[in-house]
Each structure stands twice: as structure tokens, then as C-alpha cells.
């Protein structure tokens, strides 16, 4: 996962964001969630894929570039409070770039089903205000 999407114009990002908000409004949803699209880089067309009324595992990339705690926001909204900021306010705080990488144990000889085994070596980056490491 990566944010902001490389090579995507601010105009296209805003248009896709509007489409995501409109999808949520169309079903009466208010709160934290995720709308996903499939993007065709050759035509710049995008297509609705799914909407989740929850945060997804990839949410830390958004948190890193906005400085916002989306889990805290989701709990805040669940208690009946309004979102702490609107999309324009969030967009105004976007800075930097974030990439999320996940390591999975899968067996390629068995249809990439989950597998167990020993991890013989791992080295994490130094954690600071610009790096986030989560394990578990």
C-alpha cells in the first residue's frame, strides 16, 4: 500500500474522493470507512470495487501522511460525535509519502495457502517520528 498514489494528479485524487463520498452518501453511511476503486492507468478511468464500513489493515499509510489517528476517529464517531475534520481539512494536512509492507508466510506449492515456519532473520528499521513498525 502506498499513499499518496504516485503519478496521480491532485485533480483525479479529488474526483475519486468525491466519488467515494457520494457512494457512502448513496447508502446513507456516515463514519469512518473505506471505498476502493480499480484504476486503469492507461485511460485514467476508475471503477468502484467495494466499500467497507470499517477501517482496513492498510489505514496506517493514511495516518502517516495526514497525522490523524483514524482508529480514534472511528471510535469517536461510533459514540455519536461528528468527524473531527472534513475532507478539505484533511487534504490540507497531507505531507510526505508512506508505504506499507506486510510479510506473509505462504506456501507457493500449495496454492499460496497460509503456512507456518521459522523466521530466521528480520531487521526492523529504526523507529522515529517518520517510521512506524507494527508486528503481531
Cell of 33: 470507512
Residue 54 annotated as catalytic: yes
Q: Of residues 54, 102, 123, 132, which has the active-site annotation?
A: 54
Q: In the beta sheet, which residues pair with residue 114?
A: 106
Q: In the beta sheet, which residues pair with residue 46?
A: 39
- State mean pLDDT over 98-114: 89
Residue range 65-90, pLDDT digits in tens:
999 999 999 899 889 998 899 888 98
Rounded to whole angstroms, how far apart are CA atoms 15 and 23? Answer: 12
Q: Which of 32, 58, 79, 74 is nearest to 134 (CA)?
A: 58
Q: Are 19 and 26 in contact (CB under 8 A)?
A: no
Ranges of beta strands (E only) in the chain are 2-3, 34-40, 45-52, 98-99, 106-107, 113-114
Residue range 3-53, pLDDT digits in tens:
888 888 989 988 999 999 999 999 998 777 889 999 998 998 999 999 988
Amino acid at each position: 500500500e502506498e499513499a499518496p498514489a504516485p503519478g496521480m494528479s491532485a485533480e483525479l485524487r479529488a474526483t475519486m474522493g468525491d466519488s467515494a463520498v457520494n457512494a457512502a452518501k448513496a447508502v446513507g453511511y456516515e463514519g469512518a470507512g473505506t471505498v476502493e476503486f480499480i484504476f486503469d492507468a492507461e485511460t485514467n478511468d476508475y471503477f468502484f470495487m467495494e466499500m467497507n464500513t470499517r477501517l482496513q489493515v492498510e489505514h496506517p499509510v493514511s495516518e502517516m501522511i495526514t497525522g490523524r489517528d483514524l482508529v480514534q476517529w472511528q471510535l469517536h464517531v461510533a459514540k455519536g460525535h461528528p468527524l473531527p475534520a472534513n475532507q478539505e481539512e484533511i487534504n490540507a494536512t497531507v505531507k510526505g509519502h508512506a508505504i506499507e509492507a506486510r510479510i506473509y508466510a505462504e506456501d507457493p506449492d500449495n496454492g499460496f495457502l497460509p503456512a507456518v515456519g521459522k523466521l530466521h532473520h528480520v531487521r526492523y528499521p529504526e523507529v522515529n517520528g517518520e517510521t512506524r513498525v507494527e508486528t503481531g
